[in-house]
Amino acid sequence: MDYIVRDLRLRKIPFFRLNTETIYQYKCRIGNEHIDDWSIGTINGQQVSAAYFRRPGIPAAKLSTNNVGISTYVSTEWQAFLKSIYARLENKWFSSPVDITLAEDKPKQLLLAKQLGFAIPKNTITNDIDTAKSLEQNISLIAKPLRQALLEDEEEKVIFTNRINQLTESDAEPLSAAPVIFQQEISKKYDVRVTVVGESVFATAIFSQDYAETVVDWRRGGHCELVHKIIELPIEIEKRCIELTKLLNLRFGAIDFICDTSDNYWFLEINPNGQWAWIENQTQAPIANSIVSELLKIGESQL
């Protein structure tokens, strides 16, 4: 959000930034006279012409009690209030929270991507060892989470994509606990992050094969200085990226591909609200500027 705010300030565009975890600091209301009959602090619905949704925090009011039940109640009430505000914004969203949530469905993403003509690695999503072993018979596999890549315990741990050496019957019981995405391993030339903003496409090659720890999952290399380079996608791939984003009713998509050793592009997934600031830092791609331009278009359409 800091990048968006910086661009808004440079263009001298008025804005209101709401950090939802501190919404309790504002005097808020929702009325029923019309759809814009609501306010948060000094901002009311009629003043908002476009809105950008970026991973809001959970409201956590500072209470005089340590009662967990009361804290949960207060937080839940604020989340219900915010959901009503989100619904009131309707056509003003850059990408709406509802559409973002629906677009996070990875099986749906793969289905749409295949229909659009993207190359997709062979895969199955299963908690059944026999199904996974059947896929493994002819190809090398990697495994990754279907949804939650973060283990939140005493200390947070990331579940990275991992290479599967060989599945055995001893894996049956732990696998049965939760579904896993098993996917054909593609020999990489490099990874590709494609950032779609409206009709603009920014493609970045991430040279993950330069380090042993980033060969399978480039995110493992937290200490590795991976080279990032702006590349030009084949026209058909670029068009499909825009089309997939639109099919999911989004104005933004962070799409991951593999470019193999024969320069073929393999679709992996689309993150409807993914990170992009590091791409802008590494390549100077004007992503924040493009997002603000889209917000201005949305605002103009309300006039």
Answer yes or no: do 231 and 155 share one domain: no
| pLDDT mean over 1-25 | 96
Query: Structurally, how many domains does the chain consist of?
Result: 3
Q: What is the pLDDT of residue 147?
A: 87
Answer yes or no: do 127 and 115 share one domain. Answer: no
The reply to whether 290 and 180 lie within a common domain is no
- 113 and 225 fall within a common domain: yes
3-state DSSP: the chain helix, strand, coil percent, rounded to 5?
40, 25, 35
**145 and 213 both lie in a single domain:** no
pLDDT of residue 62: 82
What number is the average pLDDT over the span 266-289?
97
Same domain? 167 vs 201: no
Closest by CA to 254, choosing from 234, 270, 238, 230, is: 270
Categorize the per-residue pLDDT at 69 as very low, low, confident or very high, splitting at 50, 70 and 90.
Answer: very high
37 and 130, same domain (yes or no): no
For 163, the domain range is 122-185
Domain boundary among 185, 210, 236: 185
| Spatial CB neighbours of 67, under 8 Å, sequence gap ≥ 6 | none
| Closest CA relative to residue 203, chosen from 241, 149, 171 | 241
Q: Which residues of 74-98 are buried (b: 16+ CB within 10 A; e: fewer)?
A: bbeebeebbeebbebbeebbbbbbe
How many Å is the Cα radius of gyration of the chain? Answer: 22
